[in-house]
Each structure stands twice: as C-alpha cells, then as structure tokens.
Structure 1
Amino acid sequence: MQREEFESYLNTLLKPEQIKDFCPNGLQVQGSAVIKKVITGVTATQALIEQAIAEKADALVVHHGFFWKNESYVIRGMKHNRIKALLTNNINLFAYHLPLDIHPSLGNNAQLAKLFSIDNVAPLEVGNELSVAVRGDFSTPLLPQQLEQRINQQLNRACMHIAAPSNKAIKTVAWCSGGGQGYIELAAEQGIDAFISGEVSEQTTHVAREMDIHFYCAGHHATERYGAKALAAHFNQHLPVEAKFIDIDNPA
C-alpha cells in the first residue's frame, strides 16, 4: 500500500480536521513510500520504536506522537534519539490524538464503553457531537464496589475509587480516557452517578465529595490502550497490510 493511500485512509477514517488539537494529527515523520507492516501503540516511545524496528515495520500509528503545543522546537536528547531511529529505519510515524479518543467505534471512549458494558453512549457536553467526554448507563445499576471490580478486571490494574458520600448505586456514568478528570464537575452537574477517567488531580477529590459523585481513576495509559488496539484489528480486516498492536506497559 502506498504511503499516500494509507495516510488518506487514516484521515478519512479519523477525520482530524473536525477537532482542534494540541498537536499535528496525521503523518508526523515520513518514512517508506510503501507500507506493508504497521505497528500500533499508545505512545511513540523509544521502546515502541525499537519494537517496530524489530518487527521490520514500515509504519507506526500511535495516539501520542511528537510536536506538542508549547513543546520545545529543538530536536535533541530523547526527541533526537526517537526521530533518528525512525528516519534511520525508514519508518513512517502517524499520530492521532483527540481524533482517536472520540471516534464513535474505534475510539478510546467507545472501546471503554464496550469493555465496561455501558449502553446508550452520548456526548457529555450537550449539543457537541465531538465531545471528548461521554456519558451512558448500565442496564442494571451497579454497587460502587462492583464497578471498581469491573474496571480492575477489564483494565488489569487497580483503579483509585473516591466514593460519593451517599455511596449511591451507579446507574448513570460518564467518562473520558486519559487526562479527562476536569470533566467530573460537568458530570456531577448533570446528576450522573459516577465519572471515570485516566488521571486524578488534587481538586478531583473535593469535587467528588462535595458534589456526591463517585470517581474512578483508571490510569492514563490503561484507558488509552484500546483505540490503538482496535485500529490494528481494523487495518487487518480492511487494508492490504499486516498490523499488530504492541503494548508498552506504563503504570501511570
């Protein structure tokens, strides 16, 4: 598959032009003109790049790439080593940040809904179909401990649970993969029973306690593995390439 064909397919699939982001989405580092093998992953770390080299990949597709807003323009140290490895081995780097969070079927939030068995998924930000945070409900209300167990089991890690003072059962839930803890207040204002995200801030605890909403911190990396994994499966099904998801463990 030609690089331009692959890039066009990704842009049509993920529609990066729809949403303002903190980094460029699409092809970030140019490599081979022909793409036969693709590795997907969460972050373009040195470890993932080395895995792509070992797999003789022509392209790497990630959620967290390079060139973030307010990041230094200088290519030295860690960034130099990563980019040099890509260029030396002729590997294309494609990155899709928010577009991969919000995709209605392959996105991180959509994949979490499947993992946690959440129904009736809708934007948390009313009237914004591209809302980075979403909401839904469970067919049968869960006890707070039951939701904690489900998150732990599905993500294979121990989440942090800040309980609502009323310890209410959970019928409605909102969530945002990665660093989306700031949406908890909006969820509480809508009377939602629980909010799940990948990170926690100092003020998150106070919001949960004072606005009577359960909060679950499930890990930034852990909540953003599944979009990249779904992309690999999608490529294998729909494109003339071999694709493989590689998870580089990250406890954060």
Structure 2
Amino acid sequence: MLRSEFELLLDKTLSPNRFKDYAPNGLQVEGKKDINRVVTGVTACQALIDAAIEYRADAIVVHHGYFWKNEDPRVVGMKYRRLAALIKNDINLYGYHLPLDAHPTLGNNAGLGDALGLVDREALQTGVPIEEGIGIVGSLLAPIAKADFYRLVTAAVNREVLFECVNEADIQRVALCTGGAQGYIEQAVSAGADVFITGEVSEQTIHIARELGIHFVAAGHHATERFGVKSIAKFLSEQHGLDAVFIDVDNPA
C-alpha cells in the first residue's frame, strides 16, 4: 500500500478532523513510499522504534507520538536519537491521540468497555455523539460486588489496579476514560455512574471520589491505552492484508 493510501485509510477510519488535539494526528515523520509491514504501540519511545527496526517495519502507528503543544521544539538529545533512528531506517511514524481514544469500535475506551462487557454505551459528555466523546458510560448486564468488579478490571488490563471503594453498594453503571483523565470524575458522577475508571490518579481525585460517593479505579495510563493500537493492528491485518503487529513496551505508569 502506498504511504498516501495508508494515511488516507487511517484518517478515514479515525476521523482526526473532529478533534482539537494536543499534537498533530496522522503522518508525523515521513519514511518509505510503500508500506506493507506495520508495528503499532502505545508510545513512540526508543524501545518501540528499535523493535520496529528489528521487525523491518515500514511504518509505526502509535497513540502517543511527537510534537506536543508547548514541548521544546529543538531536535536534540532524546528527540534527535528517536528521529534519527526513524529517518535512517526510512520508517513512517503515524500518531493518533484523541481519535484513537474516541473511536466507537477501535478506540481505547471501546476496547476497555468490551473487556468489561459494557452495554448501552453513550458518551460521557452530555449531548455528544459517542464517536466524538472523550470517555464513555455504560452498564454491566447485572450488578456485581466490589470484589468481583476488582477482579474484572484487573483481568481486563492485566495488572493490579488502584481501587478506592467508597461505599458497600454493588456496581453496575460504569464510566470510563482511558489515560490521564482523572479530571473527568465529576462528569462520571453527573452521568450517574457507580464507578469511574481511568488510567491515572491525582491526590485530589480520592477526596472527590469519597465526598461525591463514586468508586474510583486508576488502572494505569499505559495499560488502559493498549486497546486502540492493538485493534488497529488487527484491523490493518485482517481487513487490509498488511503485515501488522502490536508490540507492547511495558510501562508501569
């Protein structure tokens, strides 16, 4: 597939123009013209680039790419080494941030929702279509006890999680927003959720959870954002015949 066709496919699928984002979505570093072997990963760190080079990838697709707002624009140090490795090996780098959170079937939120078995999903933000919402709210088929919910979440993200239980009630209505979205906890309360799941926690988050009476789970920024890039690898392989694999560079954060 030509590089231009590959980017058109991703843009058509993920609709980046719907979002006002913190970094450019789409092609961030240009490489070879023809793309057949693709590596996907959460973050375009040096370890992922090195793995892509070993895999002889033509392109890398990530959730966390480069050129974030307010970052140092100089190409020095770590940034130089990463870019130099990509350019030397003629590898295209594609980054999709908010579009890969929000996609209703391939996105991070959708993937975590699938792993939890959520039904009747809608956007966490009132009045926003689910495909444009940053976060979702849905329901389990039946209420479950806190201990069972903890086991469900840990199995979904394959790691131990921080679980702040604030009352003895069972859990059925679940709000979630992957990554560093702890600031959405009050929207989860407004949506009537019994629990809010995200990747990270701030000091004030626990106080908010306790005072507003909502269970809170911090399941890991990296762990909750593996879903989208895993889905993209499967999508490219199964529906478009590319040699695409997800490579997980473990990160405890």
TM-score (ref. length: structure 1): 0.98
Q: Which residue of 2 aligns with 1:219?
A: 220
* Cα shift at 1:133: 1.3
Partner of 1:112: 112
The aligned residue for residue 151 of structure 1 is 153
After alignment, is 192-201 or 143-152 more displaced? Answer: 143-152
1:4 alignment partner, SS class: helix
Deviation, 1:23, is 0.2
Cα distance in structure 2, aligned partners of 1:191 and 1:14: 29
Distance 2:36 2:139 in 1: 41
Residues in 2 aligned to 1:234 and 1:91: alpha-carbon distance in whole angstroms: 20
Percent identity, please. 49
TM-aligned CA deviation for residue 5 of structure 1: 0.4
2:15 aligned partner: 15
How many pairs are equivalent? 251
List gaps (5 residues or longer) in structure 2.
none
Amino acid at match of 1:105: T
Give the structure 2 partner of residue 229 of structure 1.
Answer: 230
User: Could you tell me which residue of structure 1 aligns to residue 77 of structure 2?
Assistant: 77
Within-5 A mapping of 1:42-53:
42-53=42-53
CA-CA distance at 1:36 after TM superposition: 1.1
Residue aligned with 2:245, SS: strand
**Matched ranges for 1:33-182 at <5 A:** 33-129=33-129, 130-164=132-166, 166-182=167-183
Between the aligned partners of 2:122 and 2:242, the Cα distance in structure 1 is 33
Distance 1:83 1:167 in 2: 51
Q: Distance in 2 between matches of 1:104 and 1:125?
A: 14
1:107-158 deviation digits (Å, cap 9, x = unpaired): 0000001111111110111111111011000111011111111111221111
Q: CA deviation at 1:204?
A: 0.5
Alignment partners' CA distance in 2, 1:105 and 1:188:
24
Letter of the 1:37 partner, please give it: R
Q: Deviation per CA, 1:201-230, whole angstroms, max 9, x where unpaired?
A: 111101110000000000000000011001
SS in 2 for 1:39: strand
SS in 2 for 1:120: strand
Query: How far is 1:189 from its partner?
Result: 2.6
Deviation for aligned residue 1:167: 2.2
- RMSD over aligned Cα atoms: 0.8
2:67 match: secondary structure: coil
Q: Give the Cα–Cα distance (whole angstroms) in 1 for the partners of residues 160 and 79 of structure 2.
A: 31
Residues 189 and 214 in structure 2, CA contact (< 8 A), matched pair in contact too: yes
Task: Say whether 1:203 aligns with 2:204.
Answer: yes
In structure 1, how many angstroms separate the alpha carbons of the residues matched to 2:159 and 2:66? Answer: 27
Q: How far apart, in 1, do the equivalents of 2:60 and 2:191 lie? A: 39
Given that 2:112 and 2:156 are in contact with CA atoms closer than 8 Å, whether structure 1 keeps it comes out as: no
How does the TM-score come out when normalised to structure 2?
0.98
**C-alpha contact (below 8 Å) 2:137/2:191 kept by paired residues:** no
